[in-house]
Copies of this chain bind each other. A is one copy, B any other.
Amino acid sequence: MSNKIPVGVLGATGAVGQKFVTLLEGHPWFELTELAASDRSSGKSFSEATTWRQYKPIPEWLRARTVKACEPNLDCKVVFSGLDSSVAGEIEESFARAGYIVLTNSKNHRMDDDVPLLIPEVNPEHLGLIKAQRNRRGWSGAIVTNPNCSVIGLVMALAPIHRAFGIKRVIVATMQALSGAGYPGPSAIDMLGNVIPYIGGNEEEKVETEPLKIMGALEGDHVRFANLLISVHTNRVFVEDGHLECVSVELEKKAKPDDIARVLESFRSLPQELKLPSAPENPVIVTGERDRPQPRFDRDAGNGMSAVVGRIRECPVFDIRFVVLSHNTIRGAAGASILNAELMKSQGYF
Name A's B-contacting residues (CB within 8 A): 53, 55, 169-171, 173, 175, 178-179, 183-198, 208, 229-231, 233, 235, 237-240, 244, 246, 248, 290-297, 300, 310-311, 315-318, 321, 323
- The residue of chain B having its C-beta at the shortest distance from the C-beta of A184 within the complex is B187
Contact of A231 among B184, B292, B315 (CB under 8 A): B315
Q: Return A200 CB to nearest CB of chain B, in Å.
A: 8
Contact A173 B173 (CB under 8 A): yes
Contacts of A195 in B (CB 8 A): 175, 237, 239, 244, 294-295
Q: Return A338 CB to nearest CB of chain B, in Å.
A: 22
Report the bound CA distance from A36 to B69 in whole Å: 43
Identical subunits present:
4
Contact A197 B291 (CB under 8 A): yes
A-B contact pairs, 10 of them (CB 8 A): A175-B195, A184-B189, A192-B240, A193-B238, A195-B239, A195-B244, A198-B292, A231-B248, A233-B321, A237-B238
Contact A169 B300 (CB under 8 A): no
Contact B291 A189 (CB under 8 A): no
Contact of A188 among B53, B185, B197, B294 (CB under 8 A): B185
Report the bound CA distance from A293 to B235 in whole Å: 11
Contacts of A318 in B (CB 8 A): 171, 231
Report the bound CA distance from A296 to B237 in whole Å: 13
- The residue of chain B having its C-beta at the shortest distance from the C-beta of A178 within the complex is B189
Contact A290 B55 (CB under 8 A): no
Report the bound CA distance from A182 to B198 in whole Å: 23
Q: Return A269 CB to nearest CB of chain B, in Å.
A: 24
- The residue of chain B having its C-beta at the shortest distance from the C-beta of A316 within the complex is B231
Most chain B C-beta atoms within 10 Å of own C-beta, residue among A178, A191, A233, A290: A233
Contacts of A197 in B (CB 8 A): 244, 246, 291-294, 310-311, 323
Contact of A198 among B230, B311, B316, B321 (CB under 8 A): B311
Contacts of A293 in B (CB 8 A): 197
Q: Return A113 CB to nearest CB of chain B, in Å.
A: 22
Contact A300 B55 (CB under 8 A): yes
Contact of A193 among B187, B231, B240, B246 (CB under 8 A): B240
Contact A316 B183 (CB under 8 A): no
Contacts of A300 in B (CB 8 A): 55
Quick one: given A171-B248, A187-B185, A231-B248, are A198 and B291 in contact (CB under 8 Å)? Answer: yes
Question: Known pairs A170-B317, A184-B190. 19 more at Cβ < 8 A?
Answer: A171-B318, A173-B246, A175-B175, A175-B195, A175-B237, A179-B189, A186-B189, A193-B240, A194-B296, A194-B297, A195-B237, A195-B244, A197-B244, A197-B294, A198-B292, A208-B316, A229-B316, A231-B248, A237-B237
